[in-house]
C-alpha cells in the first residue's frame, strides 16, 4: 500500500533500470532476470517501469511480453524511435500489458539534427507529429521525449513539445541526455515550457537526467521545482556512461526534505536496500561503499568525534534512519579513527564494564590492533579481553610464486597459532589466485573474493605496496589489508588479516560456549 503525503505534489517515479540502466556496459539482463527485477520494482512502488526497446532486439521483445503478462497493476512502458516500424514493434510488444505506455523519442538539438539525423527542423517536427499520432492509434498513454532537449534551441524545443501535445502525447519528457545542464537552468527551462507551450497544463512533464557531471539528482530535483511531475530514474543510478539519476537518492531527498520540495512519491522506501542489492546480484555490478543511501558505509561511523555525537543523539550525524531505507541499523565501525567513547560503548554492549584504568589499557591495545587491521570486530575486542588472544593467528614465514605451464603456482610456508610450520602448494589462473588457493588450503579457511585492489603507499625508497580486499565468508563480508615492499606478499598479508580475524571469532565463540 502506498502512503503519500496528501499535502504534497505527487511525483511519478518512472524507472528505466531495465532499459537505459541495462545499456550500462556489463549490465545486460536476460528476459527472466528482467522479470525478477520488474517484480521487485513493482513491489518497491514505482509508477512506470520501462521494460526495454523492442525494435532493438528479440530479447527486449521477449522481456516486454514476459513482464506484461505478469505485472497487471504497474504501467509498463517500451521505448521507440520516431519511426513507423519501431512504433509498430513496440505496440506488438505491449499487446499483453494491462497498463501499456508507448514512449517515442527523437533528437531535437541542432548538433543531433545535423550530424545524427541529417534532418531539418521541419522534418523533425513532421516526424514527431506523425509518429506520436501513430502511437496514439495503439495506446492511450503516449510519452514523447526530446532527445538532447537541454541543448536544443528553446524556440524549437517549444515547437517540438507543442506538436507532440497536439498529436496526442500525454507525457512530455525533456532529457538532459549528456548531463550538460545545471540545476538553475533546468528549473527555469521547465517553468518556461509549462508557462508558454500550448496545452502544457494538460500533460505531465518529465525529466530524464544523466550524471556526466555528477548533477543528475540535483537537476532532477530542480526540474521538480520547475513543475515536472515525473522523474526518470534507475536503481543504483546505472545507465549510459556515468549513469542516470539514482532512484534511491532522489526519493530520499524528497522524503527527507519534503517541507522544502513540497513533493512526495509512492515509493516504499524500506524496500530500497533490498532492491538495490538484488540489482547488484543480477548484473554483477556492486555499488561503491560510500554510495549515498545504499552503500555499505552510508550509515557507518568510524570517526571518534562522530561516534561520540551519535552516542549522545542520533540526529547529530544522521539525517535519516537506516531502517527507513532497509538497513537494519547504524554501524559504529571501530577502527583507527575511533575514540574511547565508542570502544567503551561496544565493550559494554558485549557485557564488559571496565574501570578507568582497565579501559585505558584495553584502549591502548585496541589502537595497536588498528595498526594491523582496518576494522576491529566484536570478536577482536573479546580477544583483547582474554589477555594474549590477539597474538593468535597464522603468520607468513615465506612464499614463492611461479609458473606451472599455463597456470600459476604458489607455495606458502606459515606458522600456525601453536607455532607449528605449515607448507602448502596450489595452482590458479594467476599468481594471486594461486596464492589465495594455497593460503586457503593451509588454513582451512575458504574465503570468496569479492574485490581486490593494490596501490602504492609512500614515495621513493619508502614506497610500499598496499593490498585491500573484500571477501565473503558464511554470508558476511570482511575487509582485509596488508602492506609490504612486495605486492604479492602484501596480498597474502591482507588475506591472512581476514583469516586471523575469523580465527579469533571462533576462539571467542568457543570460550563463550564453555562459559555458558
Please determine, for residue 390, whether its predicted confidence score (pLDDT) is greater than 50: no
User: Which domain, by its residues, includes 155?
Assistant: 12-259
- 264 to 75, 258, 332, 463: CA distances (angstroms): 19, 7, 31, 52
434 and 306 share a domain?
Answer: no
Q: Domain for residue 6, yes or no?
A: no
Does one domain contain both 227 and 319? no
For residues 416 and 355, membership in a common domain is answered with no
Percentage of the chain modeled with pLDDT above 70: 94
Q: Which letter does DSSP use for residue 141 in this model? A: -
Q: What is the pLDDT of residues 145-156, one digit of tens each?
A: 999 999 999 999
Q: Is residue 108 predicted with pLDDT exceeding 50?
A: yes
* Mean pLDDT for the stretch of residues 25-35: 94
Question: Is there a single domain that holds both residue 250 and residue 324?
Answer: no
In a domain, 142, yes or no: yes
Do 363 and 410 fall within a single domain? Answer: no
CATH at residue 226: 3.20.20.70
For the cut 90, the answer to whether the pLDDT of residue 31 exceeds it is yes
Residue 295 lies in a domain: no
Place of cell 518529465: 206
> Is residue 455 a known part of a binding site?
no
pLDDT at 239 over 80: yes
Same domain, 91 and 205: yes
Average pLDDT over residues 440-465: 81
Mean pLDDT score across all residues of the chain: 91
Tell me: do 239 and 332 sit in the same domain: no
In a domain, 355, yes or no: yes
On whether 313 is known to bind a ligand per the annotation, the reply is: no
5 known ligand binder: no
178-195 average pLDDT score: 98
**For the chain, how many structural domains are there in total?**
3
User: How far, in Å, CA of 66 to CA of 64, rounded?
Assistant: 6
Can you give the three-state secondary structure of 33-44, one letter per residue? Answer: HHHHHHHHHHHH
Set of cell numbers at residue 417: 597459532
Q: Does residue 469 lie within any of the structural domains?
A: yes
Q: Are residues 307 and 220 in the same domain?
A: no
397 and 360 assigned to the same domain: no
Contacts 24+ apart (CB under 8 A), 457-460: 457/483
pLDDT, one tens digit per residue, over 488-504 is: 999 999 899 888 878 87
CA–CA dist 468, 499 (Å, integer): 14
Q: Residue 448: which H helix or E strand, with range?
A: strand 448-457
Is the predicted pLDDT of residue 66 greater than 90, yes or no?
A: yes
Determine, yes or no, domain membership for 377: no
Q: What is the DSSP string of 190-211?
A: HHHHHHHSTTGGGSEEEEEEB-
Is the model's pLDDT at 514 over the cut of 80? Answer: no
Is residue 5 assigned to a domain?
no
pLDDT over threshold 90, residue 301 = no
Please tell me whether 337 is known to bind a ligand.
no
Mean of the pLDDT values across residues 447-465? 77
Same domain assignment for residues 19 and 147: yes
Q: Which residue blocks in 150-199 are alpha helix, DSSP H?
A: 154-167, 183-196
Segment 139-145 shows an average pLDDT of: 98
pLDDT tens per residue, range 160-183:
999 999 999 999 999 999 999 999
pLDDT (mean) for 97-121: 97
Q: Lowest mean pLDDT of 432-441, 459-468, 475-484, name the range.
A: 459-468
In a domain, 89, yes or no: yes
Q: Is 181 left (phi over 0), alpha (psi -120 to 50) or beta?
A: beta
Q: Reply yes or no on whether the pLDDT at 159 is more than 70.
A: yes
215, 79: one domain: yes
Dist CA 410 CA 437 (whole Å): 8
Amino acid at each position: 500500500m502506498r502512503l503519500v503525503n496528501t499535502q504534497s505534489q505527487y511525483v511519478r517515479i518512472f524507472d528505466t533500470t531495465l532499459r537505459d540502466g541495462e545499456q550500462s556496459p556489463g549490465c545486460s539482463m536476460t528476459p527472466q532476470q528482467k522479470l525478477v527485477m520488474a517484480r521487485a520494482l513493482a513491489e518497491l512502488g514505482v509508477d512506470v517501469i520501462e521494460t526495454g526497446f523492442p525494435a532493438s532486439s528479440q530479447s527486449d521483445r521477449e522481456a516486454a511480453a514476459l513482464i506484461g503478462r505478469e505485472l497487471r497493476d504497474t504501467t509498463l512502458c517500451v521505448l521507440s524511435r520516431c519511426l513507423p516500424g519501431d512504433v509498430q514493434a513496440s505496440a506488438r510488444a505491449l499487446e499483453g500489458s494491462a497498463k501499456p505506455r508507448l514512449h517515442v523519442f527523437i533528437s531535437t538539438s541542432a548538433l543531433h539534427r545535423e550530424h545524427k539525423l541529417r534532418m531539418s527542423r521541419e522534418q523533425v517536427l513532421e516526424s514527431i507529429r506523425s509518429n506520436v499520432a501513430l502511437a496514439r492509434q495503439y495506446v492511450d498513454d503516449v510519452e514523447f521525449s526530446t532527445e538532447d532537449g537541454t541543448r536544443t534551441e528553446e524556440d524549437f524545443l517549444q515547437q517540438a513539445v507543442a506538436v507532440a501535445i497536439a498529436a496526442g502525447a500525454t507525457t512530455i519528457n525533456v532529457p538532459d541526455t549528456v548531463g550538460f545542464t545545471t540545476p538553475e537552468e533546468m528549473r527555469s527551462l521547465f517553468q518556461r515550457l509549462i508557462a508558454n507551450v500550448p496545452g502544457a497544463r494538460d500533460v505531465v512533464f518529465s525529466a530524464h537526467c544523466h550524471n556526466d557531471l555528477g548533477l543528475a539528482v540535483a537537476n532532477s530535483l530542480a526540474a521538480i521545482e520547475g513543475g515536472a511531475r515525473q522523474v526518470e530514474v534507475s536503481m543504483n543510478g546505472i545507465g549510459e556512461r556515468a549513469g542516470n539519476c539514482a532512484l534511491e537518492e532522489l526519493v530520499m531527498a524528497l522524503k527527507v526534505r519534503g517541507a522544502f520540495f513540497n513533493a512526495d512519491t509512492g515509493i516504499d522506501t524500506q524496500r530500497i536496500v533490498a532492491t538495490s542489492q538484488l540489482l547488484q546480484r543480477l548484473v554483477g555490478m556492486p555499488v561503491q561503499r560510500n554510495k549515498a543511501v545504499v552503500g555499505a558505509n552510508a550509515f557507518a561511523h568510524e570517526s571518534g568525534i562522530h561516534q561520540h555525537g551519535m552516542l549522545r543523539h542520533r540526529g547529530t550525524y544522521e539525517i535519516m534512519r537506516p531502517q527507513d531505507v532497509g538497513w537494519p541499523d547504524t554501524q559504529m565501525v571501530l577502527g583507527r579513527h575511533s575514540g574511547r567513547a565508542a570502544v567503551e560503548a561496544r565493550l559494554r554492549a558485549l557485557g564488559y564494564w571496565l574501570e578507568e584504568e582497565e579501559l585505558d589499557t584495553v584502549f591502548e591495545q585496541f589502537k595497536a590492533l588498528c595498526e594491523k587491521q582496518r576494522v576491529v570486530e566484536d570478536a577482536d575486542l573479546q580477544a583483547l579481553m582474554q589477555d594474549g588472544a590477539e597474538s593468535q593467528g597464522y603468520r607468513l614465514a615465506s612464499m614463492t610464486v611461479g609458473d606451472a605451464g599455463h597456470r600459476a603456482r604458489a607455495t606458502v610456508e606459515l606458522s600456525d597459532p601453536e607455532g607449528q610450520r605449515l607448507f602448502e602448494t596450489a595452482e590458479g589462473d594467476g599468481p594471486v589466485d594461486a596464492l589465495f588457493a594455497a593460503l586457503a588450503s593451509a588454513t582451512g579457511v575458504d574465503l570468496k573474493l569479492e574485490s581486490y585492489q593494490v596501490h602504492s603507499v609512500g614515495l621513493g625508497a619508502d614506497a610500499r605496496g598496499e593490498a585491500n580486499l573484500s571477501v565473503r565468508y558464511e554470508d558476511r563480508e570482511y575487509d582485509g589489508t596488508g602492506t609490504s615492499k612486495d605486492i604479492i606478499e602484501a596480498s597474502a598479508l591482507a588475506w591472512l588479516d581476514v583469516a586471523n580475524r575469523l580465527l579469533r571469532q571462533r576462539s571467542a565463540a568457543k570460550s563463550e560456549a564453555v562459559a555458558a
